[in-house]
Structure 1
Amino acid sequence: MSNAYLCPNCKTNRTRFNLIAQVPQSVKLDPSTGSVVNQYENAEDLDPFHIPYNGAERLVQCAACGVIGEEASFIKRAQHNPR
């Protein structure tokens, strides 16, 4: 992390953030019990109807107002509003 952040919601916080690592876990559940039937290790192992996760690797939460969003939105807000 070498980019400045600025909260896109409260527009004042530049220093206090929570970084949230996204670690997806692909599973197949039993429809009646909800228990895990199969846990997929690789995207290549997924069955044809299981779309692999393609979301953000990291989310950011503003520790002042609590809004959670993708890291890019916090970086862009800081770039458009430099100190």
Structure 2
Amino acid sequence: MASPYRCPNCKTNKSRFNIIQQTAYPVKMDPFSGEVLQQLSNDALEPFHMPYRGPEYRIQCGTCGNIEDERTFLAFGSMKSQ
């Protein structure tokens, strides 16, 4: 997060952002009630339960509210303004 951001939607915001830290908790749920039956460990997942591989951070523009992957904001932040 030591690189500049710029919103890919409104294209003007370069300073107001919300950093959303994502934390995944693997669980086993009842398919009918939706009740959580068991919270699993990332180290010992059951067969057919894939670990979370998404981004650690998502960014929300503090001006227009757009939420994207951090890489998108970084890519637009490194581009020269037109």
TM-superposed deviation, 1:81: 2.1
TM-score (normalizing by structure 1): 0.91
TM-superposed deviation, 1:34: 1.3
In the alignment, the residues of structure 1 paired with residue 8 and residue 47 of structure 2 have an alpha-carbon distance, to the nearest angstrom, of: 38
**Alignment partner, residue 28 of structure 2:** 28
In the alignment, the residues of structure 2 paired with residue 49 and residue 16 of structure 1 have an alpha-carbon distance, to the nearest angstrom, of: 40
Q: Of Structure 1 and Structure 2, which has the larger fraction of its residues in helix?
A: 1
Q: Secondary structure of the residue that 2:73 maps to in structure 1?
A: helix
In the alignment, the residues of structure 2 paired with residue 47 and residue 7 of structure 1 have an alpha-carbon distance, to the nearest angstrom, of: 39
Aligned length: 82
TM-superposed deviation, 1:33: 1.7
**Alignment partner, residue 69 of structure 1:** 68
Are 1:47 and 2:46 matched, yes or no? yes
Q: Secondary structure of the residue that 2:77 maps to in structure 1?
A: helix
**Mind listing any 5+ residue stretches in structure 1 that lack a counterpart?**
none
Percent of residue pairs identical: 45
TM-score (normalizing by structure 2): 0.92
Q: Secondary structure of the residue that 1:45 maps to in structure 2?
A: coil
Aligned CA RMSD, in angstroms, stands at 1.4
TM-superposed deviation, 1:78: 1.1
Q: Secondary structure of the residue that 1:59 maps to in structure 2?
A: strand
What do residues 25-66 of structure 1 show as CA deviations (whole Å, max 9, x unaligned)? 100001122111111122x31111111100000000001011
Query: Which of structure 1's runs of 4+ aligned residues deviate more than 6 A?
Result: none
